Each structure stands twice: as structure tokens, then as C-alpha cells.
Amino acid sequence: MAKKKTDPEAESAKKDNPNVMGLKAEVMDQPIVDTLELNYMPYAMSVIVSRAIPEIDGFKPAHRKLLYTMYRMNLLTGGRTKSANIVGQTMRLNPHGDAAIYETMVRLSKGYSALLTPFVDSKGNFGKVFSRDMSYAASRYTEAKLSPICSELFREINSDTVDFVDNYDSTTKEPTLLPTTFPNVLVSANTGIAVGMASNICSFNLEEVCRTEIAYLSDPDCDIYTTLPAPDFPTGGEVIYDPDAIREVYETGRGSIKVRSRWRYIKEENLIEIYEIPYTTTVEAIIDKIADMVKTGKAREIADMRDETDLSGLKLTIDLKRGTDPDKLMAKLFKTTTLMDAYPANFNILIAGSPRVMGIRQILEEWTAWRSECIRRRVFCELSQKKDRLHLLKGLSKILLDIDKAIKIIRETEEDAAVIPNLMIGFGIDEIQAEFVAEIKLRNINKEYILRRLEDIEKLEKEIADLEDVLKNRRRIKAIIKADLENVIKKYAQPRRSGIVYSDDMVYEEEAEKVDSYPVTVFFSREGYLKKITPQSLRMSSEQKFKEGDELLLSFEADNASELLVFTDKYQCYKTRLSDFADTKASALGSYLPTVLKMDEGENAIYVLDPKDYSGSVVFFYEGGKAARVELTGYQTKLNRKKLTGAYSDKAPLVSIVPLKEDIEIALTASDGRCMVFSTAHLAPKTSKTTQGVAVMSLKKNKVLVSARPLAETPIKNVSRYRVRSVPAAGALLREEDSGNEQLTIE
């Protein structure tokens, strides 16, 4: 067979491009659901279960690996060692790199001050939780050991209280949980962001948590608010006690808790010292915000501000101008800066590998069940050891009844391997007992030794009976838990760091910002431009200028101090004030509301109204012939420029918005030329802003409502022809003499 000739250029091309050789990359079609299940879900579950969400012992895996490594390094009773040494040893359990491990150590340290009960006794610069720019030193410069309270984490670690698993390369073992003797899950603050969920657990005072657990053990229906009044934050501050907010957090595990800074006024130097701030902010964020307020003229009372934090603790100093009221200034700063901030609670905890958001009582229930199981396992381990010891001693007791016989058996046995079997045959004992007897020293074969061993048997039998009773008796297990908690309180209890301020005890109120009051006329165009013009300017030039293609949608008289509600086509409402807009002229285009109010992308303003004292209501008319009357009080908020989602129903396109101070007659027009007039008295006010309302106009198939406006603003002459006594109604065809000019509607 002739050999096939090869082309050198073709061979070279095949080497450069494997696809030429037929080794084309295989492309598989796979449904997106299968891709998510096979590739994404394992990653998501790993982040949730093995990284971001704490478990019932109050620790994440990274915390647990670090603390257990330090325990094995004898850093609970020994002296400090370099942090770099600890980080290196921890990498045997945690493969995520030295930077991540050291950052975990920093957060657990006493120096960083992020925990009420720090677990790492640190030496050196570990930064501060209240500072964004105060960086911690490198691990080669700092030293650390375990804090004394860690003895409550590892006291029972060797008594089979928790499971141990292989580390990532199966070279050693590590605990799945730490057998904490107190509810650390509530004592240590914890924050984690997983995939599709997060956890944010605020800290509580150690003594208060232990007292609450003791009360819960005595009565599961106890009033936890008496022993656990509010969270306690490591940075101090004052918790603004809102009973409804606290109850929501305690019962659901979600909610918001307000915390404000602590400050004092130094009258002699006319300055304010802020020495404790909320846990959720930093000194740099506060300084930046106040500096911005000074630049924009919103804090003219402040002459200077500086950070005087030193080894004695945090201190922000604000120099005041002469005549400044410090209470009113702090009220303003609490309102506009993070000197008063909210902690968003989210008690998401892993229970048996599954994330659960729980309230305080549920957490105590789960911790009690877990702690009870730890105690049962410890008792069972101790029971097994004592039973093994008793088994050996009972074998010894049989030998000690006839020592001479035992000595004779051992002496007459020719081979060493036959000693154990001969003892088993001679005294009727098993191999373990015979092995124990054979190892007894010759000096111990005396009367005193024999009597002591017999006493040990009686003592062990009593102890075993007691331990077996513990396993059967829930009350005794609860008593052990209580005793452990009392011991923790006695050794490690500390006073609260965060004060509690009740809203009724607030000694000052927020100062209302002074706004000039004078009459203005508001003009709003279809494209979303707003003008605020004074009467004097309007008299000089009343011809309004608009952008090409734009036109006037509505105008009304108001006061410069008035608030405005701006409705958008994204079913949202923005609250602002007329004083935030500069006075302008008729020749100007005005302010573009989507930009000024920082609306969402593609969102447009469609209607503006002055709610005045929020005593009236507003009626929304939809294409389907329905109308919803909503009380204006539903849009009343305490903050300006606040975006309200769900401002009206999104079930059907909006046709018109009509504000009401009192009941009036409204004229409706349909796309088929029919018209009806009805009184708004037929519309009952609704409490929900997103209500679809009630049907007011009966429409034919494929016909829609095209306009709705007050009767007084229409050219209708024959009102009786279109007026209806009840709704819904079909109306009558609109006559030519009643049509007039086309009205303005929202599209």
C-alpha cells in the first residue's frame, strides 16, 4: 500500500490550530435552570452555610477556626504570641489566605472594640471599629492570646459535646461548633452577606442575656423585656427606646433600632464634645457630613470641628459661634448626620444547616435545646468513662479476693502471652480486666491499696447512678445550664455601655428650619419643568416660555414655604418644598424635576400638587373607568424629598389626578364620546394608596376613560343631561355645544 504524502505547511497549520485536526471544542446546550442548579447553587449554599451566616454558637466558620487554633496553641493559659504565628497556624484549617484570617482576628480583638466581649486579648495597634481610616498594624507587629472568657467556649471541648470533622485536606480535625456555656449568639455582634440573604445581629449585654436565659428556663413565657430591655452596642451611645420598634425586632428578628451619639457641652470654652457614636457609623463619615453642611451654609453655628481621638478614647470637638444654642444645633445634627443612626436588625442564624430568621424567644429556645444536647453528650461521655473504670475495678476486686492465687497463676505461666488467658480462666474475668490486673505494680498488692479500690467501686456506682439520673431528668439539665450562666455572670458581667433614652424623656426637639413665607405662582409643564414665580415678576412678564414641543400642564397659587407632592409615571411620589427651588421668571424654562429630585432612570413627573395642611384628599382616575379617593395624610412624612413607592395603583394606566378640599362635581369623558357628571361624595376615602378604587363610569368594550376634571373647569352647559345620581353609570353622548376645547390630561 502506497504511503500518503503529507504537506509540511498543512502539518504546521494543524499544530498551530488544533481545530484543523478535528479537535473542535464541544459546545453543549444546557437549560439555564440546570446551569443554576449544577454550578451556581453549590456556590450559593457554600457561602450561606460555610462562610457568611453565624450558627447557634454565635460564630462563623472563620471565627471558629481561628479561636480553635489559638486554643490548640495553648494561648488560653499561656502568654501572647505574634499574630503572624497565629495566622500561619490557622491556615491549616482556613485556606482563604493570611489577610482574611488576620482581619477576622482583628474584629475579635479587644483593641478593635467591635465586640462587647472580645475573644482575643490583643497587644499593639488593631485599629478601631469607629474609624474608617485608622488602619491596624501588620500581623508581624502585633501580639495576641485568648481572652479569659474563652474558657467558657472550650471548657467542654474534649468531652464529646460537639462533633469534629476533617479539615479541608483531611490532615487534622476541627469542631463544627464551640460548646459555649452562654448564648454568645446574642452577646456578640455579627454581620454577614451571603447569596440572596444576609445576617445582621446586634449585640446585647452579657449579664442581661444570661438573666433572660435563666428566666426563660424557669418559664418559657416569661417577659423578656424586663430582663433584656434593649441592645447594648460596643461603641456606646444611647438607644432611642421605641416600644413598637423593639417589639418588632424581638418578635420577628427584623426591624430597625435608632441609636444616637453621646455629647457634652463645655460652657467655659463654648464647644461640644462628642465621645460616643452609633455602632453603624464612623468619625470620618460624621466629619465629612458636617463639613459639607458648613460649606453649604446649613450649619452656620459651627466655627470649627476637629477629631481629638487619642488613647483615652473617641472625642470629636465642635467649636461654636457666639450665641449658639447647643441643644438646637445637636438636634439639627442628629437629623441630618449619622450622629443618630439606625441599626438594621436581621437575626438570620443557621439552625441544623438551614438559615432561619428568628426573634429573641425563638433564639433562646434553639440555644436551650442545643445547650441541653451538649450537656447530655458531656454527661454521657463522663458516664462511659466511669463505667469503663468501674468495669476494671470490678475485675480487680475479684483478683484481690485471692492475691496468692493470682501470683501463683502468673508465676507458673511459662509464656508471657499466656498470662492474660490464664487470669481470665482462673478468675472468670474478661480480657480488658485481665490486662488491667496484669499491669498492677507489685508494691500495690497490699491491704491499704485493696481497701481503697473497693471504696472507689462504691463511689463510682453512686456517681454512675447520679449521671444516669441527669440524663433522664430535664430539670437537672436546666439546673446545670443555670449554674453555668450564674458562673458566667459572676466572672464576666459588665455594665451596659449603651444608655436607654425614652422618647418622652427627650429634653429637646428638632429645630424647624426657617423658611421665608411669601406668595408665589407655580407653573408645571407637560415635560416635567417647574417654575416658581413671584407676583411682582409675574406682573412684569406673564408670557410663559417653554421648551420646544412642551406646554403648560397646570398652574396654581401657593406659598414659598409650602410643600409639594410630585407624582411620577413609575407609581411613586416625591415630597419636596417650594423653598428648595429658586424664584425664576416667565422667560426661564424652570427646574427639571427628574434631575432635581434625583428620580430613577426613565422616570418622569406627571403631576404636582400643594397638600397644604394635608387635610384634603386626592382622586386618581384610571382608563378602566375606576376612581380611587385617597386621604392626603397618607403622603405626610417627616423628611423632605422622601421618595414614596406605591403612591397609587399600577393596575391600570392613570388618566387624571384631581385634588379635593371638599366634595365637588367631576366631568368624565370616554373615548366613544360619552360624558357623565357625578359628585365625589359617591367616593369613600381609602386607607391604602395603591387601591384600585371603585368603578364610576361603565365603558363599552375596547373603550377607555380619556379625561376627568372638575365640572367648573369644563365648557359644559347642559349639565343636567350628563349628571348621574349613582355610580357606576354610562353617561350620555357629549353634544357639540358642550364639548368646548380639549382639556389637559395626563398621558
Catalytic residue numbers, as ranges = 141
CA gap 542, 532 in Å, rounded: 13
For residue 217, the SS3 value is: helix
Closest C-alpha among 634, 548, 537, 619 to residue 589: 548
Q: Do the Cβ atoms of 347 and 197 come closer than 8 Å?
A: no
Q: Do the Cβ atoms of 559 and 520 come closer than 8 Å?
A: yes
CA gap 161, 387 in Å, rounded: 18
How many CB atoms are closer than 10 A to CB 396? 22
Beta strands in 440-594 (DSSP E): 499-502, 519-525, 529-533, 552-559, 563-568, 572-577, 591-592
Q: Do the Cβ atoms of 553 and 524 come closer than 8 Å?
A: yes
CA distances from 734 to 154, 323, 674, 715 (A): 87, 68, 5, 11
> Mind giving me the DSSP string for 151-170?
HHHHTTTTTT-S-EEE-TTS
- Which residue type sits at 323? G
Q: Do the Cβ atoms of 564 and 608 come closer than 8 Å?
A: yes
| Burial grade of 510 (CB within 10 A; 0-12, 13-18, 19 or more) | middle
CA gap 63, 83 in Å, rounded: 15
Map 420-469 to HEC letters: HHHHHHHHCCCHHHHHHHHCCCHHHCCHHHHHHHHHHHHHHHHHHHHHHH
Q: Do the Cβ atoms of 46 and 71 come closer than 8 Å?
A: no
CA gap 271, 285 in Å, rounded: 20
CA distances from 736 to 168, 603, 675, 697, 732 (A): 85, 37, 12, 21, 12
Closest C-alpha among 729, 701, 727 to residue 629: 727
Sheet containing strand 198-201, edge to edge, reads 190-193, 198-201, 340-346, 254-260, 238-241, 499-502
CA gap 708, 675 in Å, rounded: 10
Beta 238-241 vs 499-502: how paired, if at all?
parallel
CA gap 238, 241 in Å, rounded: 9
CA 184 vs. chain centroid, Å, equals 18
Cell numbers linked to 394: 470490678
Cell numbers linked to 693: 378604587
